[in-house]
Structure 1
Amino acid sequence: RVVLVDGGSDPAVSAISPAWAADDELVYVADPHGWWNPFRCTDPLGECRIRLLHPAEAEFAAPPWTFESSLSPLDEEHVVARWTQHGRWSVGSIRLVNGETEEWMAGLEPTSEVAVGEGVVAFVGANSTSPAVLAELALAEGRVRVLRASAPELLEEDYVSVAEAVDWPTAGGTDFAHGFFYAPANPRVSAPEDARPPVLVLVHGGPTSATSAGFSPFIQFWTTRGFGVLDVNYRGSTGYGREYREALRGAWGVADIEDVASGVAELARRGLVDGDRAFIRGGSAGGYTVLRALTTTDAFAAGTSRYGIADLALLAGDTHKFESRYTERLVGPYPEAADTYRERSPLFHLEGLTAPVLLLQGEEDRVVPPNQAVEMAEAIRARGGEVELVMYPGEGHGFRTAAAAKDALGRELDFYQRALAAGDQK
């Protein structure tokens, strides 16, 4: 039979991640109160008596399209759960009788769903200072064993930049955007006391996904080379409640642009970075935000789009099946909202572009076809703008080979260094 647990007639409420607990009880995650919190359904084949297990301004699930389960039965009295609060993930247990939570291994953020065995749980996790590991926790002893590390220790402690959670008012002033700031970290290099570092803004893809604060060798690549890094969870990102999650509906290309630009302004106001030496980079949907920011604001001195979107109408017609209706939610129905698609497509608004652009694209990309990058590069050149286009044979949506990844990263660093040198000469 069908068990109805989704909150009744409210279409905004989502019920996800169901799992069977002890004694044929059903646990699941839903957001009738605005946050994905855990619920318990006793007698699911009868009356299904529903009780909120643990009310909190925290999300106890990743978005359903990640195909991850966030709740798993542990024993007769507990379920295992993952939850995120203020952009940071935790793992632990929930007591079924009263909803009490117990966090395990604080400081090790789970980056995968949790596997439950006899007296043990295992998951992939990362802390702030070292690469991700496959960890196993023996519950009775509380003993943690690292089964395998994803990489050796890459950096000495003095070279590691640790994430600092930052929030700043959105353009409308009605909400706060969120992200993580990483200050430059390299004991072998010093700058003048009154100098502020350049900043690189990272824009995650999705666009309705999120970034987290776990150790990232990629971010450390930039911070050890003198860049501050702002990793943005713009409005529409998951992990901050339903209202924030839904804030990008119909507003893609507007809200995200406001949040990345105002994030730079806020860091500059705090004296953490040099707002005149701000760069932006992103891939896929993040690449779209890059191009849109460069063509509608003067917040950035240069930007890199990795397989990003230049023409939203082409994306609506050319992308793969799984995301074929994505833009209807983010922009509007097509072709009914064709004017909005064109208005928010960077390809048609190059009059506002003054910064140099680096376009990195895989030739076999089926999500964002290569013609997006080619047409953008041709249009920029036709207007006399500065653009570099690099196509990678055999690469798709994301660069999988070491050669392509290394080449792309090296080109990007050189691109920003040239932009910095050009700015110093003005």
Structure 2
Amino acid sequence: MDISFPFADWFRNSSTYIDAHRGRTFVVLIEGEGLTPERRAPLIQDLALLHVLGVRLVLVFGVRAQVREALTDAGLTPQRHQGRFVVDDACMSLIEREASTLRLAIEARLSPGLSNTPLHGVEINAISGNLVMAKPLGIREGVDFLRAGEVRRVRRDAIRTLLDQRSLVVLPPLGYSSTGEVFDLDAADIARHTAIALEADKLIIVGRARGLHNLQGRLMRQPSLKEAQSMVREYDDTELAEHVHIACDAARQGVGRTHLISWQDRDALLAELFTRDGVGTMITRERYEQLRGARLDDIGGLLELLRPLEERGMLVARSRERLEQEIDDYVVIERDGMVIGCAALHSYPEARSAELACVAVHTSYRGGERGDLLLEGVEQRARDQGLEALFALTTHTLHWFLERGFVQAGLDALPERRRQHYNPQRNSRVLLKTLSTSGALKTGV
């Protein structure tokens, strides 16, 4: 009797991501609530796994939750102004204590020899130090913030040297001034500066919110910077607003991808990084190339893009009139005013499915992720319409679809209305993909 283990299939399917992440630099911010004693173990184990798999890791941690509790226990109520505490010496003493305690707990969890954990025998050099330089916030609107500070700079070369030595760098929410003082810093701001300074491949923010959701409650898997900033204004969540602001700023300044996930989901970090469908929101830098809905003034560019593929028999010929009638079904990739890619979504709401059609990328721009970007845009459109499946018909690109989660199917998988127009002379393969409800296709890694 064959015995199957679900994790084995997941592990096999994760090989693409394991290979892609190896040697990459990730800056991971975990807010203090995610590092309470009852929550920290699985998160730290997952970070250790990333390290073992060859990811260059910088961990930035917050202590807001721990400091709030300590202030309450001490009977202290510091003044708050412009969203920051005025940090006097008594308050700073508590912050230093909580930051040091949590740093030691993290380092202890990363130490080898824990026989009852998955980290048994794994040696990880977790290194902290005076890697973040700070300056005081000073006096603002007449209020002296005392020991509250902001990031002056991150010691990029020192951090890179540690990463080159296979160390896992740990940054507490503290900074050091040129005059030898210690300042209280915002952990999210440290993460932003660090990711930008290191030109990190990813900034991963682990907070309370499970990503960014639209007004219908659907996860926004990969919003544009404009969409993310617009949508977060609808939330009464200062932490999420800060995280989105940090993500957008990092994207503008060269950080490849920022992921927003929640410590409330025990497996969120691995699920976001090693599965096709993520569990959070991913924000990327604005592209020189833009994915958008097609317009009537794109018709000329579409005809020019599609003609070579039609002549080779890869696509069914489409007239100008047909394109004009179906223009709202198309998405295009525009590069400096030129249409270099397109795809169409023809919906069959009675069957809760849609056809992915006319996927094309200009010959001069193939070999990147543009096909994935088009597929992602079409999938998100389908989800927004409440559809449950995509189907495609192809004669030349079977493997491309199979590699992206489609499976071969028979003609009976097509909606009746589409089946009536199937051309047996082309003998096109039918491919089908069930759409997940968690978010759009995880393109790239």
Shorter chain as denominator, the TM-score bin is under 0.3
Q: Rg larger in 1 or in 2?
A: 2
Per chain length, whose mean CA-contact separation is higher, i.e. which structure has more relative contact order (CA < 8 Å, sep 6+)?
2
TM-score, structure 2 normalization = 0.25
TM-score, structure 1 normalization = 0.25
Q: Which of the two has greater helix per residue?
A: 2
